[in-house]
Chains A and B, each alone.
Chain A
Amino acid sequence: MNSAEFLLWVRGPGLNIALAIFLIGMLIRLLEIFMLGRKQNLAELRANGVSAGLRTIFSRSTPADKNSMRHSMFTFIAGYGFHIGLFVVIFLLTPHIQLIQSLLGFGWPALPTPVVDLFTVIALISLMALLWRRLTHPVVRYLSTPQDYLVWAATFVPLLTGYMSYHHLWFPYSWLLGMHILSVEFLLIIFPFTKLTHAFTLFISRWYTGMMAGEKGVAS
């Protein structure tokens, strides 16, 4: 298979397959969670819980307090460097917005490509820092499973190949673009079966924790 055929495949059947598997897998996971249900709280509630649940979805993005941030400073900075970089890259880069627009029917303004390029670098460096931490910090290394490393690679490669594509680094562009799209397809396929689901389920868990705390009138 030459690079032209490869590129056509990943832009066509590849995307179809990856998208279908991603949607099927995520829906299964979400329903598996929700249908387990939660028993009604019969204690005398201090509050309704809904507003606390909604509030917690956003407030958990900031540290619990100053000292907690201090204790976990590395994870905060690298974690946010990666997530913010990733967000900017995925949603504020022109080619990506074109793709989303072709799928959803609407788009939005993009950031200048060199700016997104900078965020890509930030994301890549943050990811490498996080890998280093996962390999060296006693707690994180203890918790880590092979899946943690697989997911790291599956997230790193799309960012790297995207960067290489834009900069036409070392390989012909057709191969770079093809590898970039293929790596994204790989990420989509493993997404619902790994901890990557957190990208969606964190809203559910923050909601539940906030709601259960709000019912007791405690902070969350």
Chain B
Amino acid sequence: MSKATLDRGVQILKEQIDAPTASFFSSCVNCGMCADACLFYTETGDPAYTPINKLEPMRRLWEQEYTLVGRVKKLVGLSRPVTDDDLGEWSEQVYHACSLCGRCSMVCPVGNDISYMIRKIREGISAAGHAPEGLVGATTRAVEIGSPMGITMHALNTQARNITESSGLEIPFDQEGVDYLVLLSSMEVINFPEYLEAIAKIFKQAGKSWTISSEAFEATNSGIQIGTSDIARELVSRVVEAAEKLKVKTVVSPECGHAYTAIRWDGPNLMGRRFPFKVKHIIEVLDELREEGLLKIEGIEESCMTFHDPCQLVRKGGVIEQPRNLLNMIATNFVEMEDSGKMNWCCGAGGGVSAIEEAEEIRLKAFNRKKSQLEKLQVDTLVTACANCRIQLEEGLEVNEMDVPVVGLTEMLADHLVED
């Protein structure tokens, strides 16, 4: 029996409002500059997609519950309470038209972190039962099966076996005391199996021990995307327990955006305790290996290439230089897009957007921003480090009939490893 009600959603929103949130709502002057930074607005022209507008129900709740003027307004009947219809209506803006990319937070002149608050309003909307169907399905599969796309260990084992057969590389499962516990995103497992082979190859050359846990291989945290901390906690605890059980030094998040955010930044706060292990993105690991001289690379990529910065890795993860360091090892014709690095434009599919079928139209419209970035450059290859970005980029390029192959960075590096 579902316990989803409006009241539940409202109570959870009340829990979510903290001092930063209150200061943000107090400071917003309705200048609209956040809209100029949001690709869902710039590519549709619909003012409803203005980032701060996506938070309106929560702002009203904050005013009514946590300010004197709001309480007085309530007393004299001048305030509109947050209704079930509000939460239902806002679901589209919050889930279809926001990827939590954080670009709005970079430009707000009064210093509001709007994406921080979008994450919070998702808590309330999901608890009230108004999260999009696609995300609910993905989350349910993640909790019940172990993967949002329904991948089981059986499928993973098969893939591992195939890799071992074709390349001779071992895919170690459940090894204790190793350097790295590797997580995989279902998106990679299904669409980009080359990734697993690539890291096997790289770690072997670098002499690093690693493993996958059969109890917790999934990196993608659907709980974070749907915005339900209770579920996010459940999902991340699986990884943490596995990591502690296997006594690993470092948990490695794969080429996926929100997976990194989930375990690196949200994980300890969800669990309420610090982790006894380190958390790194695969790109961070590879760059460390490069620094230590453990990556033996040969050959060059001559094609004109650029890098699409996954939002959660770059703007929100702080991993900006590392992919460029790695690319510089092999690329001779690397060019930067205008607005790259910390101000890069989102691919349009992050934060759960790609799991929502009804969001397909707006997602592809949002891609037009990336399209105009690429058209200015005229590159031959587009490199990135997130499987979700990759799918969106490939689909967007195809729809727009642009012939630019998209390559994963790890995969490209592995292709250039010196063969023993």
Seen from chain A, the residues whose Cβ lies within 8 Å of a Cβ on chain B are 25, 28-29, 32-39, 41-44, 46, 56-57, 60-61, 63-65, 67-68, 71-72, 75, 79, 137-145, 148, 192-193, 195, 197-198, 201-202, 204-210, 212-213, 216-220
- A-B pairs, top 9 by smallest CB distance, nearest first, are A206-B111, A142-B47, A42-B268, A208-B20, A217-B318, A71-B36, A204-B23, A202-B110, A139-B32
Q: Indicate if the CB atoms of A43 and B268 lie closer than 8 Å.
A: yes
Contact partner of B111 (CB less than 8 A), chosen from A34, A60, A143, A216, is A60
| Bound CA–CA A46/B271 (angstroms) | 19
- Give CA–CA (A119, B338) in the complex, Å: 36
Q: Is the beta-carbon distance between A60 and B109 smaller than 8 angstroms?
A: yes
In contact, A218 and B20 (Cβ under 8 angstroms): no
Q: Within the complex, what minimum Cβ distance (angstroms) separates A5 from chain B?
A: 32
Cβ contacts B206-225/A at 8 Å (1 or 0 each): 00000000000000000000
B32 and A75 contacting across the interface, CB-CB below 8 Å: yes
Q: How far apart are B172's CB and chain A's nearest CB, in angstroms?
A: 26
- Residues of the A chain whose Cβ atoms lie less than 8 Å from the Cβ of B384: none
Question: Chain A residues with Cβ under 8 A from B269's Cβ?
Answer: 39, 41-43
Q: Which of B1-49 contact A (CB under 8 A)?
A: 17-24, 26-33, 35-37, 41-42, 45, 47-48
Given contacts A32-B66, A33-B22, A198-B110, contact A140 B278 (CB under 8 A): no
Q: How far is the CB of B48 from chain A (nearest CB, A)?
A: 7
Asked whether, in the complex, the Cβ of A205 is within 8 Å of the Cβ of B36, the reply is: no
State how many angstroms separate the Cβ of A208 from the closest Cβ of chain B. 4
Q: Can you spell out 21 A-B residue pairs with CB atoms less than 8 angstroms apart?
A: A28-B68, A33-B22, A37-B19, A42-B273, A43-B267, A65-B339, A65-B343, A140-B31, A143-B50, A197-B26, A197-B27, A201-B26, A201-B110, A205-B27, A205-B111, A208-B23, A209-B111, A212-B116, A216-B316, A217-B318, A220-B106
* B174 in the interface (beta carbon within 8 A): no
Report yes or no: A72 in contact with B33, Cβ–Cβ below 8 A. yes
B363 part of interface (Cβ distance < 8 Å) = no
Residues of chain B lying within 8 A (CB to CB) of residue A138: 45, 47
Q: Is the CB of A218 within 8 A of B316?
A: yes
* Contacting pair B22 A32 (CB below 8 A): yes
CB-CB contacts below 8 Å: B42-91 with A: 42, 45, 47-48, 50, 52-53, 66-69
- 19 new A-B contacts at CB < 8 Å, known A43-B266, A64-B106, A205-B26: A33-B26, A42-B274, A43-B274, A57-B111, A71-B37, A140-B30, A140-B31, A142-B47, A142-B53, A198-B28, A201-B23, A201-B26, A208-B19, A208-B23, A208-B111, A209-B108, A209-B113, A212-B116, A216-B316
Q: Is B318 a contact of A75 with CB atoms below 8 Å?
A: no
- Give the most central of B30, B317, B318: most A CB within 10 Å: B30
Nearest CB in chain A: distance from B262 CB, A = 11
- A64, B107: Cβ atoms closer than 8 Å: yes
Asked if B233 is an interface residue, CB under 8 A from chain A, the answer is no
- B24, B267, B316, most chain A CB atoms within 10 A: B24
A contact patch SS = helix
Among A75, A137, A212, which residue has its beta carbon within 8 angstroms of that of B20? A212
A60 to B108, CA, bound (A): 8
Contact indicator B18/A72 (Cβ below 8 Å):
no
Interface SS of B by simple majority: helix
Q: What's the least CB distance linking B208 to chain A, in Å?
A: 20
What is the minimal beta-carbon distance from A156 to any residue of chain B, in angstroms? 15
| Complex CA distance for A32 and B32, rounded to whole angstroms | 26
Residue of B nearest to A219 (CB): B342
Check B275 against A209 for contact (C-beta < 8 Å). Answer: no
A211 to B239, CA, bound (A): 28
How many angstroms between the C-alpha atoms of A64 and B140 in the bound complex? 39
- On chain A, the residues within 8 Å of B268 by CB distance are 42-44
Select which of B21, B45, B47, B318 is within 8 A of A143 by beta carbon: B47
Whether, in the assembled complex, B279 has its beta carbon less than 8 Å from a beta carbon of chain A, the answer is yes
Also in contact, A143 and B53, with CB within 8 A (given A44-B274, A68-B36, A219-B342): yes
B94: min CB distance to chain A, Å: 16
Q: Does B120 reach chain A (CB closer than 8 Å)?
A: no
| Docked-complex contact B318 and A216, CB < 8 angstroms | yes
B264 CB within 8 Å of chain A: yes
Residue contact A139 to B47, C-beta cutoff 8 Å: yes
In the complex, which residue of chain A has the Cβ closest to the Cβ of B45?
A138
Q: Which of B95-117 contact A (CB under 8 A)?
A: 105-113, 116
Cβ–Cβ contact A195 & B111, under 8 A = no
- Is B31 touching A79 in the complex (CB atoms < 8 A)? yes
B272 at the interface (CB under 8 A from A): yes
Neighbouring A residues of B27 by C-beta, 8 Å: 195, 197-198, 201-202, 204-205
Which chain B positions have C-beta within 8 A of A145?
30
B residues less than 8 Å from A137 (CB atoms): 32
Indicate whether A205 sits within 8 Å of B316 (C-beta atoms), given known contacts A38-B19, A143-B30, A198-B29: no
Complex CA distance for A212 and B265, rounded to whole angstroms: 11
What residues of chain A lie closer than 8 Å to B318, measured between beta carbons? 46, 216-219
Closest to A194 in B: B69
By a CB distance below 8 angstroms, the chain A residues around B42 are 71
B50, A139: Cβ atoms closer than 8 Å: yes
Whether A142 pairs with B50 at a CB distance below 8 angstroms is yes
Interface pair B315/A219, CB less than 8 Å apart = yes
Q: Which B-chain residue is minimally distant from A29 (CB atoms)?
A: B26
Q: Which of the residues B18, B26, B47, B116 comes within 8 Å of A39, measured between beta carbons?
A: B18
Distance in angstroms between the alpha carbons of A213 and B48 in the assembled complex: 27
Point out the residues of chain B lying under 8 angstroms from A219, CB to CB. 106, 315, 318, 342
Complex alpha-carbon distance, A44 and B273, angstroms: 11
Contact assessment for A36 and B50 in the assembled complex, using a CB-CB cutoff below 8 Å: no
Q: Cβ of A202 and Cβ of B111 under 8 Å apart?
A: yes
Chain A residues within 8 Å of B339, by CB = 65, 67
Chain A residue contacts of B20, Cβ below 8 A: 38, 205, 208-209, 212
Chain A residue nearest to B342 (CB atoms) is: A219
